Structure 1
Amino acid sequence: MYVCEIIKQAKFLVTCELEPPKGIALEGFLNRVEMLKGSVHAINIGDNQRAVMRAAALAVCHTLKTRSIEPVMEIAARDKNRIAIQSELLGAAILGIENILLVTGQEPVMGDHREARPVYDLDGVALVDAAIRLTRGKDLTGHDLTGSPAFCLGIVATPGLDDGGARLAELEKKVAAGARFIQTPPVYEPAVFEKFIRTMARFEIPVLAGHTILKSASMAGFMNSNIEGVHVPENIIRELEGLTRKELIDRTLRISLNILREIKPMCQGVHFITAGWEGHIPTLVRELAA
């Protein structure tokens, strides 16, 4: 349970998210992994994120383990019923994969197999409960297991959303069920994040602030329009307009570093969503630690 151990040691945890390959060729994926070695504590591997079909997270996480790289395996409720979810959790434990991020998953209509039927047999709270029951030696029907897994369970929470308390109530249930850490979507507004952290204080659960380096002004605009709860301020978007590529990279890295420096004292770690810019993560991590 490497992620939970780092948190217990009160170290600033750095994780990074990579998508599995859409196919079986791993060379390009492993090249991106190599860029991150020594800069992050663990690498998140998505479970068909954004409803786009990719190689199984379990296989890719096992590949990382064989290379002494700590994975955080995502499991989405969208594609699996309760039998498959429990089976996958046990399979992960057999392979030494203990850091698990539990998510509901986006609707298939958002992805590349729009005709696919979603499952959603378990909701977000039941997903956490299922994993915790396994650690106590029982499956969801109460049958005994031959050996119990150990997991460090993470969940996702979005700072910028306000729905009258429904999401907060659900989050409270997930924490009560056994979630051990929170990762957020990309954060660009420290004031909004600070308010979120004050709200999270009651749960006494570590929070890893999500962040994506903005590759262009148009990317920022797309995120504002398409990613729930993510908002890139207009002044940042304007800063990224009309620049040469070199100017853009310098400017956007400075923007990211300024944001991360401001939110670092508020949280227990940062979670990078790389969007193909893995090569810039080591620079940000070094500067953030300075």
Structure 2
Amino acid sequence: LAMAYMNSLVPSYVVQRDVGLETVYQVVVRDRNRLALTSDILAAAYLGIKNVLAISGDHTVLGDNKGGRAVYDLDSAQFVYLLKKMIDEGTDLQGNEIHGKVEINVGIAANPNANPLDPEILKIGRKVKIGADFIQTQTMFDIDLTKEFLKETERFSCPTLVGIFPLKSFGIADFFDKYIPGVSVPRDLLEAMEKCKEEPDKEKRKDRYDEVNMEFFSPFIKEIRKTTSAAGIHVMAVLYERILDPLLRETM
């Protein structure tokens, strides 16, 4: 949703600096014109960021500042083109020389839940042709849809990270199912999450939520790793860091 958070360049840099792992800097074109986007990428390159995810972002009417004016000077495909100009030619969109070297992998977002899927595949193909280096999907709950999408995108020979979103509570699961476009939480998972609410003890309730997530996502990840061409998994454990360690240990 369109809400104000810290510029993701800051945590991307801090994690890369303090932990030593490469990060993926998410850049939303909704809020910035081409000058600001160019400036942000120059800053990221200077800080040693190696990966950028170019995304459109939800419109401001879908956030908590509905009076905010969306910019969309460039769409996500045009932003990919700007990135490749900066990387390959050392110029901006107008051909002006940029000040600083940019060595960054360019990522794009994809929605395997799209129905019909063909227009989504066409958009991905266009961005890959422009120069995208990798793909990250929106959160997935349906293993068959995930496999279908990965099979369709094999033609692009572009590494794909499958997105999953462990659900911290029934409230979050219900919100995803009702209000996130193109995302449907399986009925059996929703029912299992709802049963967790019956546990009166707060800590035990957390443990039950953990168990439900492990039972659903562990076989999901294993199946993706075993039977598809996916390059990896993007675990979006928003405010739910505690699930990362057991989930990764179980599925690595």
TM-score (norm 2): 0.89
Matches of 1:173 and 1:92, distance apart in 2: 25
Matches of 1:89 and 1:172, distance apart in 2: 23
CA apart distance, 1:253:
1.6
Matches of 2:15 and 2:169, distance apart in 1: 31
1:273 aligns with 2:226: no
1:225 aligns with 2:178: yes
* Contact preservation (8 Å) 2:106, 2:133: yes
Matches of 2:238 and 2:56, distance apart in 1: 21
Secondary structure in 1 matching 2:176: helix
Matches of 1:248 and 1:59, distance apart in 2: 31
**What's the Cα RMSD here?**
1.6
For residue 127 of structure 1, what is the aligned residue in structure 2? 79
For residue 207 of structure 1, what is the aligned residue in structure 2? 160
Provide Cα deviations, 1:76-97, integer angstroms capped at 9, x if missing partner: 1100001111111111101111
* Contact preservation (8 Å) 2:42, 2:100: no
User: Percent of counterpart pairs with the same letter?
Assistant: 30
For residue 248 of structure 1, what is the aligned residue in structure 2? 209
For residue 149 of structure 2, what is the aligned residue in structure 1? 196
Which amino acid in the other structure matches residue 64 of structure 1? V
Secondary structure in 2 matching 1:131: helix
Provide Cα deviations, 1:161-219, integer angstroms capped at 9, x if missing partner: 12463322221111111111111121111111111111111111111111111233443
Secondary structure in 2 matching 1:241: helix
* Contact preservation (8 Å) 2:111, 2:120: no
Q: In the comparison of the two structures, how many residue pairs are matched?
A: 240
Secondary structure in 1 matching 2:233: strand
Provide Cα deviations, 1:95-117, integer angstroms capped at 9, x if missing partner: 11121010011111222222110
Structure 1 residue runs of 4+, over 4 Å off? Answer: none
In structure 2, list runs of 5 or more residues that go unmatched.
200-204
The higher relative CO (CA closer than 8 Å, separation ≥ 6) is in 1
Matches of 1:105 and 1:156, distance apart in 2: 10
Matches of 2:51 and 2:195, distance apart in 1: 42
Matches of 1:262 and 1:218, distance apart in 2: 27
Which is richer in helix?
2
Secondary structure in 1 matching 2:238: coil
Matches of 1:275 and 1:225, distance apart in 2: 18
Matches of 1:98 and 1:252, distance apart in 2: 31
Bigger mean CA deviation after superposition, 252-261 or 99-108: 252-261
1:55 aligns with 2:16: no
1:258 aligns with 2:191: no
Secondary structure in 2 matching 1:90: helix
In structure 1, list runs of 5 or more residues that go unmatched.
1-49
What are the residue-to-residue correspondences of 1:141-180 with 2, within 5 Å?
A: 141-163=94-116, 165-180=118-133
**Equivalent residue for 2:189, pick from 236, 253, 256:** 236
